[in-house]
Amino acid sequence: LSADEAVDLERRTAAARAWLEAYAPERSRIVVQERLPEEVRELGEDQRLYLGALAIAAEKAGAGTDPAAATGEAWQGRIFEVAQAAAIPTGRAFGALYVAFLDRINGPRAGWLLSSLDPAFVIHRLREAAGWQDAPAA
């Protein structure tokens, strides 16, 4: 960005933050949780298995190493494919994702949400929400 563009970006970002803090409805306030939300304990076994299967699918697709596998479109497709393969209704699948990342039952388009995050964090969080421990580094 040029210096002028950087200044404009900063101005627009500040205005958006001010609007979010002062006027945005709760549904517009999206905060990715730094720690695994306590509400994950309330997920059903089918939802936990789904999150684990999504982590495996993401790893196999190379979401942590291949930028093409970590786009919003790629994540969105994977979310639906894994839900279908796991025979979990999409509402339950998306609900599990939103609880694991946002500590709420709804949110923005999940694929694009996940693509905005570090792929290693996403895979770790999916595994953690499924109740799996990450393998120790070799």
Predicted structure pTM score: 0.80
Q: How much is the pLDDT for 134? A: 60
CA–CA dist 94, 80 (Å, integer): 9
Tens digit of each residue's pLDDT, the chain (138 residues)? 899 999 999 999 999 889 888 887 777 778 899 999 999 999 999 999 999 999 999 999 998 889 888 899 999 999 999 999 999 999 999 999 999 999 999 988 999 999 999 999 999 999 999 998 664 444
Q: How much is the pLDDT for 133? A: 67
CA–CA dist 41, 3 (Å, integer): 47
Q: How big is the chain, counted in residues?
A: 138
Task: Match 């999150």 to its residue by tokens.
Answer: 51
- Is 83:52 a contact under the CB 8 Å cutoff? no
Q: How much is the pLDDT for 16? A: 87
C-beta neighbour count of 117 within 10 angstroms: 14
